[in-house]
Structure 1
Amino acid sequence: MEFILTFAFALGVTFLFINQSLNLTAGYLNHYVNFMASRAYLVHDAGNNVYENNINYARDRAQEVFRRFPLKELGIDADFQVVTRNEGSALFSGTTSTFKKSLSSLPIIGGGEKATLLSESFLGKEPLRFTCFQMICAAMTGNTQKCQTTSNLDIVPYDNGC
């Protein structure tokens, strides 16, 4: 009887640690994919003069990068969201990914509840080229009204250091 109890306990603890290591691996993988999508959102610029179009293109690009990784095949059914600075603050713009995983493979040990795992990557958003153009044009002309279109002045911002 003691052997059976000891064996069952050892087997339960082994399964618990294996399940926890798989959960950690899934969490790290999800966080990596979320970070890659956040980087795509950070730097993507469509090059047009409409702010909302640029943000929508960057959001689509981030979702495309996130979908490129086969998370569902690995048992991760993640809910991916892009948070723009219009929806939150400029400090908290980036991407989030949420998914649920069971903490234990045995309902007796650890319960049958699933834990909600959240990955956040708030890298922000680089200024758009048109925004840089407007800032450089306003600094050169002293008038922001002349800087509404790119046809008024030829400016080449080589780096995005505006």
Structure 2
Amino acid sequence: MGNNLKKNKGQSTIEFIMTFTVAVGFIFLFLKMALNYTDGFMVHHATFMASRAYLVSDEDRRSLEEGDSKAIEKARQVFTKYLPEGLVKGVETGSLKENNPDPGKTKFHAFVGVWIEFTQRFSMGFIGGKESIHFISESFLGREPTRSESRSQVCQAIMSLGLSKCDVHVTLEDNGG
């Protein structure tokens, strides 16, 4: 009986070290995943706020060709306000992209807003690998026609009826019926 104890000496220490290593590895894995989720929520909130700023920064343009350069700059300012540079690794304010509503350049978009792509490591390395994950945060809001689009559509409707040449301010009235 004493001979069996000598053969098993240290077995519990080895088992403890192995299970402790796995348990600590899982703790670090879940900690890094929680940090990734937190970073993602922070980026998404900043993207949403930037998308709102982009949507309401409608300049009274005379044509769609004048572009939304002021709107995307305002969106970048708001994004930086909610998510300063360097707060979340891998996110650069300059990489904020717009979903332009301009039907002349692209297919008409019913939703307008901004989106951003960034990458982060999945885990700390020793558990879960060293590969990076590609994240996309997008926020698209329903859009109303811009003032120039409304003006252009009303003018086209009036001209199609042969009522005017749209050289004066003319409005159509809808009685809801």
Scaled to the shorter chain, the TM-score interval is 0.7 to 0.9
Question: Is 2:43 aligned against 1:30?
Answer: yes
Instruction: List gaps (5 residues or longer) in structure 1.
Output: 156-162
- Provide the C-alpha distance between the structure 2 equivalents of 1:92 and 1:137, rounded to a whole number of angstroms: 24
Q: Could you tell me which of 15, 26, 31 is aligned with 1:18? A: 31
2:129 to 108, 111, 124: 111
Alignment RMSD:
2.8
Deviates more, 1:73-82 or 1:23-32: 73-82
Q: For residue 110 of structure 1, give the secondary structure of its aligned residue in structure 2.
A: coil
Matches within 5 A, 1:117-136: 117-123=135-141, 125-136=143-154
Which residue, 102, 117, 124 being the options, matches 2:121?
A: 102
Partner residue of 2:169? 153
Residues of 2 paired with 1:145 and 1:57: CA distance? 33
1: CA distance, partners of 2:41 / 2:128:
21
Structure 2, unaligned runs of 5 or more: 1-13, 172-177
The answer to whether the Cα contact below 8 Å between 1:30 and 1:119 also exists between their aligned partners in 2 is yes
> Paired residue for 2:88?
75
Shift of 1:12: 0.7
- For residue 116 of structure 1, give the secondary structure of its aligned residue in structure 2: strand
Pair member with larger Rg: 2
Residues matched between the structures, number:
153
Q: 1:61 to 1:146 in 2, by over 3 A?
A: farther
Taking only the aligned residue pairs, the percentage that are identical comes to 34
TM-score w.r.t. length of structure 1: 0.78
